[in-house]
Chain A
Amino acid sequence: MASISREQLLHVARLARLELRDDEIERLEAQLNDILAAVGKVSELDLSDVPPTSHPLDVVNVWGADEPRPCLSVEDALANAPEREGDFFKVPPGGSS
């Protein structure tokens, strides 16, 4: 049955850009393993001949007219910025990832 190790959990948290606190890691490890055991039930079924569903409606390719329309102004786009400089979103310098 599927289970997640401490090492995998920390790797996944890094992929998801979550800096988890120690107490969260402890709790999540147990909860994620319970959840994975429950959802792992899907593997009981042999569905090798069944196609996957990614979208519930039978819709393929929707085309729109190629007409320019007004979009958000720079002021609107920046209205919720936590920090801005001129017409840019300001962020701290890059760290190593």
Chain B
Amino acid sequence: MIDTLRLSAEEAARLLREREVSGAELFAAYRKAIDERDPELHAYLHVCEDEGGDGVPIAIKDVIGTRGIPTTAGSRILDGYVPVYDATVIARCREHGLKILGKTNTDEFAMGSSTENSAYGPTRNPWDPERVPGGSGGGSAAAVAAGLAPWALGSDTGGSIKQPAALCGNVGLRPTYGTVSRYGAIAFASSLDQIGPVARNVRDCAYLYSIIAGRDPCDSTTVELPAPVALPEADDLKGLRVGVPREFNEHEAIEPGVRDAVRRAIELCRELGAEVGECSLPHSVDYGMPCYYLIAPAEASSNLARYDGVRFGFRASARDRLEMYERTRDEGFGDEPKRRIMVGTYALSAGYYDAFYGQAQKVRTLLAREHAEVFERFDVLVSPTSPTVAFKLGARTQDPLAMYVCDLLTIPSCLAGLPGLNVPCGLSEGLPVGLQLIGPQFSENTLFHAGRALELALGLDPVPSRLAG
């Protein structure tokens, strides 16, 4: 009997290697779990058949192109689109024998923090189906939390891996910008987009990262890793310098239960031998959100220009070509992409460029410098990943700015191109709280080391209490 709620990818690989289970049995166990629990959760937009082979199954966020498997980015405008090539990360997963279980739900074009912006309906949080799983990668996070996949790929522009991982109680890495190829992924904001792993523990997360990371000639923004990925073995934090940025830990938007769980995790860092000290990133929280919500929409307005009904996806009926473009885009895009296209087009238009996009790019430099200064004294920064635990469906859908606040604490490091890891650190009101670990560029091994030591010391059960039998 395979318990998909608790089986790690590492253990699954061992079972396969030692022929205790077959690839077909393992795949079927996840398909059974999906059949049982996904009608309620809606983590998947598309479920795949077993194509054979003895590898560990994996779920893929639906913004990543998969040859022969529908890829919608959660948008009606890509309804019916079936990629004719694999994204590089998919090719690498396949080379390692990983088997695709299906495509997971996402806010439309990864724009959102709750997965409620999906044109195909929201995903529900496995800890409480009345609540959101976070977003945009709520499908991947919910699938991993509910045992519908041992691990998954996500994508992160301003927090879309880390924030859902926090709200669903799993481990998610937003890698250093440039370490994972975006070739074949659906672009949202190209100077920010990164693909990364979602897993049930830090070792699985590190292992999946080792599979997908590294330079790709098809994506000229990628670089070689300076050092190979090390699977973490750590059980202490001796010598690690842990910084606690005031602005990220004392912000008024942080719920008391979240603050308390994170404080206990910081205390645990000290007990594990870390040198913990306070620090300040004076502009990051206050200016990160405004900066991000200029840069990301500006780049999105450009990237989403390709959806015009000519070459792929949805096309509205029209008498002439201009009408076809305008109607296709009006009927094909949902509210959030339209809002961002409008903000972005405005911010890039003549007369406003310098005041908005140009100024936001300078803020970005300021935030990168501010982080670099702090990393002269610290190896890792810690804070809550999300200011709140999972909120109720519908609670923030009427006010775009209320939704944008979800990303308050994840955005600054994304703008600075830094890696970040979410590690579950406790519960508040019976819902998961995530600890965010931020390091300098290419410090993934340090983040895995710290995350693993904390994870072992915390000893939390990753299974949602209502599913734990």
Contacts and interface: CB of A to CB of B under 8 A. Distances in A.
Contact of B319 (A35, A39, A41, A92): A92
A31 B400 contact: yes
A56 B368 contact: yes
B330 A18 contact: yes
A51 B324 contact: no
Contacts of B325: 17
Given A17-B326, A47-B363, A56-B417, A41 B321 contact: no
B154 interface: no
A18 B417 contact: no
B342 A9 contact: yes
A38 B399 CA distance: 13
Interface residues of A, number: 55
B221 A59 contact: yes
A55 B365 CA distance: 10
Contact of A39 (B338, B356, B358, B364): B356
A2 to B, nearest CB: 7
B62 interface: no
Contact of B320 (A64, A80, A92): A92
Contacts of A97: 322
A86 interface: no
B341 A16 contact: yes
Interface string A1-28: 0101000110011011111110010001
Contacts of B320: 92-95
Interface in A27-64: 28, 31-32, 34-36, 38-43, 45, 47, 50-57, 59, 62, 64
A67 to B, nearest CB: 10
Contacts of A8: 346
Contacts of B349: 12, 15
Max count, chain B CB within 10 A of own CB: residue among A19, A51, A93: A19
Secondary structure of the B contact surface, majority rule: helix
Contact of B366 (A50, A64, A76, A82): A50
A95 B290 contact: no
A3 B34 CA distance: 47
B361 interface: yes
Nearest to B340: A35
Contacts of B324: 91-92
A89 to B, nearest CB: 6
A93 B84 contact: no
Given A12-B342, A59-B223, A92-B320, A80 B290 contact: no
A26 B32 CA distance: 46
B342 to A, nearest CB: 6
Contacts of A94: 320-322
A12 B326 CA distance: 12
Contacts of B308: 17
Interface stretch (B113-121, B310-318, B421-429, B460-468): B310-318
B223 A38 contact: no
Contact of B365 (A15, A16, A35, A51): A51
Nearest to B78: A80
A32 B342 CA distance: 8
B366 A20 contact: no
Interface string B275-304: 000000001001101110110000001000
Interface of A: 2, 4, 8-9, 12-13, 15-21, 24, 28, 31-32, 34-36, 38-43, 45, 47, 50-57, 59, 62, 64, 72, 76-77, 79-83, 89, 91-97
The 10 closest A-B pairs by CB, nearest first: A56-B417, A95-B320, A52-B361, A95-B322, A19-B326, A80-B312, A82-B315, A47-B362, A76-B84, A53-B364
Given A50-B362, A52-B358, 17 more contacts: A12-B349, A16-B341, A18-B329, A18-B341, A19-B326, A21-B330, A35-B293, A39-B360, A41-B287, A43-B355, A53-B368, A56-B178, A57-B417, A80-B80, A92-B319, A96-B322, A97-B322
10 contacts: A35-B343, A42-B294, A53-B362, A56-B416, A57-B223, A59-B178, A64-B217, A76-B84, A82-B312, A94-B321
